[in-house]
Structure 1
Amino acid sequence: MSEHHPPLRSYGRLKSRAIKPRQAALMETLLPAIRAPGGPFDPRALMPDATEAWLEIGFGGGEHMAAQAARRPDVLVIGAEPFQNGVASALRHIDEQGLQNVRVHDGDVRELLARIPDASLERVFILFPDPWPKARHHKRRLLQADLAAELARVLKPRGRLRFASDWSDYVDWSLERLGKAFRWTAERPDDWRMPPADHVTTRYEEKRLGDCAPVFLDFIRD
């Protein structure tokens, strides 16, 4: 397990608006029950009968995470998100759907990764992260070389990683960094132009806030 990590820093606001009363109540009741452990842990220990363990990094409002967990109740889905409004929204989805296979880390994903052992995940999702499009802000992007290396550490051999973005520069940036740690599986343009069969489109994605159509990059850890 990695021992040295750069100082953690969250960019932007951790809370952007008032949290609705119902969601605020879930932050007090549901979140403590499903929060990922604060110390080192094996994801499988959280759900011993799980067939796989997945991680979604930056789950936004939690739509995709909840939908994937509902489709696959046999899979433990761990979500990491530092922004309180997103966590609160995700808790509503989890509560409404009665999901028992979701755990949440309400903080920086690097803190979470540092606590889990090598080769402990089968799948990782990084969907539409903040693109920080200005060149002087590229250092703020979530996906850096050190994170790619850490994800390669925690993924099992043949483990899968999906990155999606609607900012062309971030797609190129991510392909360069992830391509050094994983094998890109695309064989034809439709493999990155078309949403994968198991993708769940969210309201955020439908807003098309980027400068290109959504691009989906699927990778495998050899």
Structure 2
Amino acid sequence: MTASHPPLRSFGRIKSRSIKPRQAALMDTLLPAIRPPDGAFDPRGLKDGATEAWLEIGFGGGEHMAAQAARRPDVLIIGAEPFQNGVASALRHLDEQQLDNVRIHDGDVRELIARMPDASLDRAFILFPDPWPKARHNKRRLIQDETVGELARLLRPGAALRFASDWADYVDWTLERVLKDGRFGWPAEQVADWRDPPADHITTRYEEKRLGDCAPVFLDFVRL
């Protein structure tokens, strides 16, 4: 009998510095109120009147997620982030802007998406995920065949998937695996289509640090 093993973690630290008192209070009060429910659920049912459901995987400090939610109050956005300091920061953004169309999963996104039904998402973002640049660590990258397959299952036909990275190898890795799945198209026609930030992109503090080995690249895929 083969022993079962938990999936490899695709993220690094869970927590770094101490969380500020105000944010810690939001972790105790706001976070429990906006977590997705346990068990199977349809994201469109998490907010009355929501016209679409979006997912952001690894939202960092939450700036992008909060800005998108403010722009589109008719959209329910689920954010997944295991890094507790990032969750605390996102909660501050939501509280300050009084945004009620965001739900937060403070853990591994793979556990979350396994509970969601087919074709239940209208858009997904994966922005500057941990690149795991050493070859021996590539297996820890979020973008794997299994993850792409789950995203293809969750995204309805015509839905958008945006991946961004400033690590050239991870861009190539992602392009290869997403297109290999066969259920996504990549309509880019010229260099500007992946080199220029998309019109609706919100630049975050992490992106501005330019920690990678190339200028940011934006891959906008479409679910076929």
TM range (shorter): over 0.9
How far does the alpha carbon of each residue in 1:158-205 deviate from its partner, in whole angstroms, 9 at most, with x for none?
111000000000000000011123111211110000000000000100
- Tell me: CA distance 1:177–1:15, structure 2 relative to 1, closer, same or farther (3 Å): same
Number of the residue aligned with 2:189: 187
Number of the residue aligned with 1:49: 49
Number of the residue aligned with 1:217: 219
Q: Secondary structure at the match of 2:157?
A: strand
Number of the residue aligned with 2:207: 205
How far apart are the structure 1 equivalents of 2:111 and 2:148? 15
How far apart are the structure 1 equivalents of 2:177 and 2:76? 27
- Tell me: CA distance 1:50–1:141, structure 2 relative to 1, closer, same or farther (3 Å): same
How far apart are the structure 1 equivalents of 2:128 and 2:223? 21
Q: Secondary structure at the match of 1:136?
A: helix
Runs of 4+ in 1 over 4 A off after TM superposition: none
How far apart are the structure 2 equivalents of 1:187 and 1:48? 38
Amino acid at match of 2:200: D
Q: Percent identity?
A: 77
Structure 2 regions of 5+ residues with no counterpart?
none
Number of the residue aligned with 1:177: 177
Alignment of 1:1-222 (within 5 A): 7-10=6-9, 11-181=11-181, 182-222=184-224
Q: Secondary structure at the match of 1:26?
A: helix
Cα distance, 1:9 vs structure 2:
4.1
Task: Between 176-185 and 192-201, report the one with greater CA deviation.
Answer: 176-185
Q: Secondary structure at the match of 1:126?
A: strand
How far does the alpha carbon of each residue in 1:22-42 deviate from its partner, in whole angstroms, 9 at most, with x for none?
000000000011011121000
Q: Secondary structure at the match of 1:180?
A: helix
Q: 1:8 touches 1:108 (CA, 8 Å); kept in 2?
A: no
How far apart are the structure 1 equivalents of 2:112 and 2:102? 15
How far apart are the structure 1 equivalents of 2:42 and 2:127? 24
How far does the alpha carbon of each residue in 1:129-150 deviate from its partner, in whole angstroms, 9 at most, with x for none?
0001110010111110100000
Q: Secondary structure at the match of 1:187?
A: coil
Cα distance, 1:12 vs structure 2:
2.4
Q: 2:8 touches 2:140 (CA, 8 Å); kept in 1?
A: no
How far does the alpha carbon of each residue in 1:110-133 deviate from its partner, in whole angstroms, 9 at most, with x for none?
001000000000000000000011
Amino acid at match of 1:117: P
Structure 1 regions of 5+ residues with no counterpart?
none
How far apart are the structure 2 equivalents of 1:43 and 1:100? 14
Q: 1:128 touches 1:166 (CA, 8 Å); kept in 2?
A: yes
